[in-house]
């Protein structure tokens, strides 16, 4: 049993490589089931269990932190215990569901504890210590992987009874409270972006995006399209400031824009595969984004002070579909080239563009890769798996990852090429200030919509006056403004950040708030 537990914990490490390989879907049951069967000496049982669990969990999608269970551990532990005890796929499913839910809850505790390293990474950014950023990025991945491997090892070694005892031991109020705390965590990331992009001139557009999502139910993509229309209108109606000699075209000899080497760009491309290696509840993929941009930023900013500023701005909140993230990386590289050469381009415009693109791109990317390519690949592979065909996991990997890596490569280079030409053109046209303002409009509208759609919190409180019918407080809030609680929490978080309150303290406070308010029936 000791050897079997060790081998299955190593299979979990294989599944964790999804966080550093661009998310090839190695976490899925159709892949892990056969591996479990192989190491335990019953490959056919593993294939059947993997195919069965794949179909059972086909609707579970990893989008942000809204995941109901850890499918990879559910497959490894459920499938492993089923094979070891001579049971079938039905038994594996019975064990897998509570195990998946339990480990998803434990992951929340572990990520909160590990925020120390994320805070240290942020401090390293602020002083330009890129080597420390790199170390903590990988340390986070390894430490989290090892902790979870130990838990998987213990689950297999102790057996079904011990796992079920742990599931039964955890009070429901803790689980519910953690769900509440997790649902309001995105407010921290949006608050960080608000403090960076917000200005009085364009601040109203944040509320426009929020209201469009709250009252009309408009998606993030829809808000982004409307925001782009507002930005275009603003572009043509805002008058450029006259500057002496503005009519004269600036020659390339007087303006030497730094260009990134192929080596630096390839470094960004390959590091972008590790976008989720240091995923956390503070800035989601932001730390991974910062890590991936280091080759480009080091080449563009030899001065440590400038490098520190660049690292810090790319450490802000970021969250999109990993498979299409290179589109934004390419644009970021092109914009950083211009910022390093042109003092007139506001550095905050990079974050405005990232904020404007990440939401709509996530909607498109999740629909394509999570909702289309994954479903097609899983359906074909599961059909083979139910027949005991050993090719099932390979078919799944090929069908899913062929479009994945084609998109990843194409989007990186096309977006960089487009961004370089576009930025060079607008500089010559003397419209950089107007364009920065327009990016801010678009970014704030998308952040407003994402505040409504991603910060999920409500109250079950009911009030009653005299003989009147009981009134649900949430219904009253919805009549005033749907999403009022998420809006208030996001702005309260932004205020705390302005007051220099430690982000780790804010995060811990959110979990405590979630547990306490859930216990007393407020949230």
Residue closest to 335 by CA, chosen among 413, 406, 421, 460: 421
Of the candidate ranges 27-41, 399-413, 440-454, the one whose mean pLDDT is the lowest = 440-454
Q: Does an H or E element contain 330, and which?
A: helix 326-341
pLDDT (mean) for 3-7: 91
Phi-psi region of 507 (alpha: psi -120 to 50; beta: other; left: phi over 0): alpha
Q: Is pTM beyond 0.85 here?
A: no
pLDDT (mean) for 216-233: 81
pLDDT (mean) for 223-228: 82
Residue 460 has a CB neighbour count (10 Å cut-off) of 11
pLDDT (mean) for 299-303: 92
Cα-based angle 323, 292, 496 (whole degrees, multiple of 5): 95
Statement: residue 57 has pLDDT above 80: no
Statement: residue 164 has pLDDT above 90: no
Listed in sequence order, the residues at least 6 apart from 75 whose beta carbon sits closer than 8 Å to its beta carbon are 28, 29, 32, 33, 36, 49, 50, 53, 96
Which pLDDT score, from 0 to 100, does residue 400 have?
Answer: 93
Confidence of residue 423 (pLDDT cuts 50, 70, 90): low
Alpha carbon distance 87, 92 (integer Å): 7
Statement: residue 380 has pLDDT above 60: yes
pLDDT (mean) for 206-211: 87
Q: Which of 39-43, 240-244, 436-440, 494-498 has the highest mean pLDDT?
A: 39-43
Q: Which of 230-244, 311-325, 367-381, 432-446 has the highest mean pLDDT?
A: 311-325
Alpha carbon distance 213, 456 (integer Å): 13
pLDDT (mean) for 224-236: 81
pLDDT (mean) for 108-125: 81
Residue closest to 377 by CA, chosen among 398, 404, 346, 355: 398
Statement: residue 116 has pLDDT above 50: yes
Which pLDDT score, from 0 to 100, does residue 110 have?
Answer: 82
Of the candidate ranges 137-146, 167-176, 224-233, 327-336, the one whose mean pLDDT is the lowest = 167-176
Statement: residue 393 has pLDDT above 90: yes
Residue 391 has a CB neighbour count (10 Å cut-off) of 13
- Dmax (CA) of the chain: 83
Confidence of residue 55 (pLDDT cuts 50, 70, 90): confident
Which pLDDT score, from 0 to 100, does residue 66 have?
Answer: 46
Q: Which residues pair with 462 in a beta bridge?
A: 472
pLDDT single digits (tens) 450-503: 788 778 778 877 776 666 677 777 777 777 778 888 888 888 888 888 887 876
Which pLDDT score, from 0 to 100, does residue 65 have?
Answer: 46
Cβ(333)–Cβ(300) below 8 Å: no
Confidence of residue 33 (pLDDT cuts 50, 70, 90): very high
Q: Which of 94-108, 201-215, 342-356 has the highest mean pLDDT?
A: 201-215
Statement: residue 430 has pLDDT above 60: no
Statement: residue 97 has pLDDT above 80: no
Which pLDDT score, from 0 to 100, does residue 390 have?
Answer: 93
Average pLDDT over the chain, rounded to an integer? 81
Of the candidate ranges 74-88, 430-444, 498-512, the one whose mean pLDDT is the lowest = 430-444
Which pLDDT score, from 0 to 100, does residue 247 have?
Answer: 42
Confidence of residue 258 (pLDDT cuts 50, 70, 90): confident
Handedness of CA 124, 332, 359, 451 (dihedral sign): positive
């Amino acid at each position: 049993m000791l050897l079997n537990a060790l081998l299955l914990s190593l299979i979990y490490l294989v599944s964790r490589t999804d966080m550093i390989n661009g998310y090839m879907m190695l976490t899925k049951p159709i892949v892990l089931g056969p591996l479990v069967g192989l190491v335990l000496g019953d490959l056919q049982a593993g294939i059947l269990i993997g195919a069965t669990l794949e179909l059972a969990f086909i609707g579970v999608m990893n989008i942000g932190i809204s995941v109901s269970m850890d499918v990879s551990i559910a497959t490894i532990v459920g499938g492993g215990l089923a094979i070891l005890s001579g049971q079938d796929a039905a038994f594996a499913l019975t064990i897998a569901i509570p195990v998946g839910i339990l480990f998803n809850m434990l992951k929340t505790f572990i990520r909160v504890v590990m925020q120390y390293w994320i805070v240290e990474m942020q401090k390293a950014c602020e002083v330009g210590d890129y080597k420390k950023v790199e170390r903590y990025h990988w340390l986070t991945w390894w430490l989290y992987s090892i902790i979870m491997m130990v838990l998987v090892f213990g689950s297999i070694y102790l057996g079904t009874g011990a796992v079920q005892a742990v599931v039964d031991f955890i009070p429901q109020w803790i689980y519910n409270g953690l769900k509440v705390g997790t649902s309001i965590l995105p407010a921290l990331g949006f608050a960080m972006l608000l403090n960076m992009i917000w200005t009085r001139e364009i601040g109203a557009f944040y509320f426009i995006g929020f209201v469009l999502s709250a009252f009309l139910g408009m998606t993030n993509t829809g808000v982004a399209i409307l925001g782009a229309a507002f930005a275009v209108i603003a572009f043509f109606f805002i008058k450029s400031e006259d500057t002496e000699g503005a009519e004269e075209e600036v020659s390339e000899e007087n303006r030497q824009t730094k260009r990134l080497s192929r080596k630096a760009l390839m470094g960004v491309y390959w590091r972008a595969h590790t976008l989720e290696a240091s995923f956390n509840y503070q800035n989601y993929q932001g730390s991974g984004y910062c890590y991936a941009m280091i080759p480009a930023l080091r080449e563009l900013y030899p001065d440590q002070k400038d490098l520190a500023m660049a690292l810090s701005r790319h450490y802000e909140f970021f969250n999109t579909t990993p498979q299409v993230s290179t589109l934004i990386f390419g644009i970021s590289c092109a914009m950083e080239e211009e910022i390093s050469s042109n003092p007139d381009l506001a550095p905050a415009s990079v974050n405005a563009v990232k904020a404007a693109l990440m939401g709509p791109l996530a909607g498109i990317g999740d629909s394509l890769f999570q909702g289309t390519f994954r479903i097609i690949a899983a359906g074909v592979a599961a059909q083979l798996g139910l027949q005991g065909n050993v090719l099932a996991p390979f078919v799944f990997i090929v069908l899913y990852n062929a479009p994945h890596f084609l998109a990843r490569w194409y989007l990186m280079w096309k977006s960089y090429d487009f961004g370089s030409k576009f930025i060079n053109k607008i500089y010559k046209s003397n419209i950089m200030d107007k364009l920065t303002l327009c990016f801010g409009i678009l970014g704030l509208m998308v952040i407003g919509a994402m505040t409504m759609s991603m910060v999920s919190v409500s109250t079950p409180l009911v009030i009653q006056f005299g003989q009147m019918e009981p009134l649900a407080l949430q219904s009253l809030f919805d009549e005033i403004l749907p999403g009022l609680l998420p809006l208030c929490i996001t702005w309260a978080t932004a205020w705390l950040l302005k007051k220099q309150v430690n982000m780790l303290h804010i995060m811990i406070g959110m979990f405590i708030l979630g547990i306490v308010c859930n216990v007393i029936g407020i949230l």
